[in-house]
Chains A and B, each alone.
Chain A
Amino acid sequence: MNEESFYQFSTLTVLALLAAFYGGTYLLTLLIKKKKENTDAFMVSNHQIGFGLGAASMTATWIWAASFYGAATSGYTYGISGPLHYGLWGALMILFIYPFGRRFRKLAPNAHTLGELIHARHGSSSQLILASSNILGSIISLMVNFTASGALVSVLSPLSFQAGVVIAGVGVLSYTLWSGFRASVLTDFAQLMAMMAVAILIIPAVMFALGGPQTLSDGMSLLTPEQANLFSMDAILNQGAPFFVAVLAYAIGNQTISQRLFAVREDHIKPTFITATIGYGAIVIGLGMIGLMALMTGMEPIDGDMNNLIPQMVSMYLSPVFIGLFFILVIGSLSSTADSDLSAMSAIVMADVYGKNIAKNKPDPTKMLFIGRLTMIIATLIGVILASFSMDILIMLVFVGALWGAIVFPVIASCFWDRVTNKAFTSAVIAGLVMFCVARFELVPMVGVTAGLFELLAAVGGGVVLGLMAFGFCGRRVGVVFGALCTIVLAYFCFGFLRDYTVLLASLMAYGVSTLVCIGVSLLSSSKFDFAQINQDVINYDPVKPAVQA
């Protein structure tokens, strides 16, 4: 990488910035009292998080370092509509899980993880599918965030990549280790406020440093007709639609989100999700505009690496103060996601692995807390090692995404339909994952009848996604009718067309196949589940039960 093209901080300056950030964050966590420590507080803050902290934490967790780089890349590649196709769909997914989140809370008000609810509904195999996918996903997320720190530090200072990775790992672990989720939520607030303040300043600063709106208007001539089109089909099919499908799976399957869902006071869930939706969209789309502005000024990313776009723009056009602010923005975003991943993994191992499967619902709370902290240390070590050696494990992210995609319908159906069985859940997830792999890696030639069949299954997947959204907000009847209509319309348009968009085809297949198998196997069974059992099985692990509902 041509580091001479970027502004360079001295070693002392960058160490001072990191020390100020992580030192300040650590001091903030000292405000948390440790006398009345219990597992419930460690995992979900006793289900008593207020609206302000809940919305801040939800937003900060949803934004990671890749959000900025991804949105800017989308703006640079697809032009005017690019930032929208990154930020808008990501934001809407937060809103999308709100109605389902309310149902999860109603069924299991004492839950710490979604896996506990699924354990009560189906048993260990379904629960462990969810738990293992989350642990793998969070390890990958940790690695990506630590890698982003290493890359940023090595680009903007004489420090090495490995130094940046280790500092981020130690920094995040230091403030998260003792208080777990409580520290994550409290620091998320401070980190989000800092991120928002920086984003509010940097976006107009870049625009006016470029020469103001007139420069952007002049730059329109550099855009291709597709890039200049707000409704670009190229952007929708290559960026918007695949991203929409992927983040939906992420929103439902990921413990970092469901942990906050279980932590926010029940009467604050709605405003929390709405505020987080708007907050996420505004920050991420706004920073994506920097990529669009780079395109409009004819800038080329150094070494062709799109991740250099924002650092390049900031280095070229802004003063060192703004570059320092940008540095804090990225470190804040990656740290808030990394601490959420640590909290999520510790809760999964504490509740799903130890609480449910080893201690069989009678855990020792002290041992449980120890296990949670040990999980954080081990996870940080793994994340730092994977990032330090730049191990190429991103291919695993494809499988995690597919797994979460295959999980969406079985999880939601399990919470609303009393006929879904454990067999239906597991077979649906496995079938969805297998068919995803067949389509994604083109294990069979994507021609003729096979391609047509896959396109029809993908159309079902598209109908499921849209039907679930309608179901969430408008009820069962509207959801089923809308989903069926969307499937028919999509089948008409997808046939003979979608085979050229492998990523989208495979992602939608995961939804479609898992849905069909889940419904089919469930209909073969006549058993009916009593949802009231879930509340009895999902318990608080501490001896004295704190207040649960507002």
Chain B
Amino acid sequence: MQTLVLALYVLIWPLISLAIFAIIGIATVNDIRVARRDKRELV
């Protein structure tokens, strides 16, 4: 049980990072689309 808990405690952070990686990636693609649609620069 301790082994499983420790493994989860260490690995949960890269998993959350992966989720945020996906969220930011998708959101940025959306930012690019909106900027193109509005004919303005991305930044």
Q: Using a CB–CB distance below 8 Å, which chain A residues touch chain B?
A: 31-33, 45, 48-53, 55-56, 59, 80, 182, 185-186, 189, 192-193, 196-197, 199-201, 203-204, 207, 212-214, 216-217, 220, 271, 275, 278-279, 281-283, 285-286, 289, 292-293
Contacts and interface: CB of A to CB of B under 8 A. Distances in A.
Contacts of A80: 9
A285 B29 contact: no
Nearest to B17: A282
Main secondary structure of the interface of A (DSSP, over half): helix
Contacts of A286: 13-14, 16-17
Interface in B1-43: 2-4, 6-7, 9-11, 13-14, 16-18, 20-21, 23-31, 34-35, 40-43
Interface of B: 2-4, 6-7, 9-11, 13-14, 16-18, 20-21, 23-31, 34-35, 40-43
A17 to B, nearest CB: 22
Contacts of B43: 32, 45, 49, 53, 182, 185-186
Given A51-B31, A182-B43, A200 B7 contact: no
A33 B34 CA distance: 17
Given A196-B17, A207-B7, 20 more contacts: A33-B41, A50-B42, A52-B27, A55-B23, A55-B24, A59-B20, A189-B24, A192-B24, A207-B10, A213-B3, A214-B3, A216-B3, A216-B10, A220-B2, A275-B20, A275-B23, A275-B24, A279-B17, A286-B17, A289-B10
26 contacts: A48-B40, A52-B25, A53-B28, A53-B31, A55-B27, A56-B24, A59-B24, A186-B42, A189-B24, A193-B24, A193-B25, A196-B21, A201-B14, A204-B14, A212-B7, A213-B3, A216-B6, A216-B7, A271-B27, A275-B20, A275-B27, A278-B20, A281-B16, A282-B13, A283-B17, A286-B14
Contacts of A271: 27
Contact of A199 (B4, B17, B35, B40): B17
The 3 closest A-B pairs by CB, nearest first: A286-B13, A52-B27, A52-B28
A197 B25 CA distance: 12
B4 A213 contact: yes
Given A217-B3, A275-B20, A282-B16, A51 B27 contact: yes
Contact of A53 (B9, B20, B42): B42
Contacts of B13: 203, 282-283, 285-286, 289
A196 B22 CA distance: 10
Given A216-B3, A220-B2, A203 B25 contact: no
Contacts of B26: 52
Given A186-B43, A204-B11, A285-B13, A50 B27 contact: yes
B30 A50 contact: yes
A186 to B, nearest CB: 5
A359 B13 CA distance: 49
A326 to B, nearest CB: 14
Contacts of A50: 27-28, 30-31, 34-35, 42
Contacts of B23: 55, 275
Quick one: which of B28, B31, B43 has the most chain A CB within 10 A? B43
A213 B6 contact: yes
A20 to B, nearest CB: 21
Contacts of B29: 52
Quick one: which of B2, B6, B23, B26 has the most chain A CB within 10 A? B6
Contacts of A197: 21
Contact of A213 (B7, B24, B27, B30): B7
Quick one: which of B10, B11, B21, B29 has the most chain A CB within 10 A? B10
Nearest to A263: B43
A195 B10 CA distance: 18
Nearest to B1: A217
B9 to A, nearest CB: 8
B11 A203 contact: yes
Nearest to A286: B13
B14 to A, nearest CB: 5
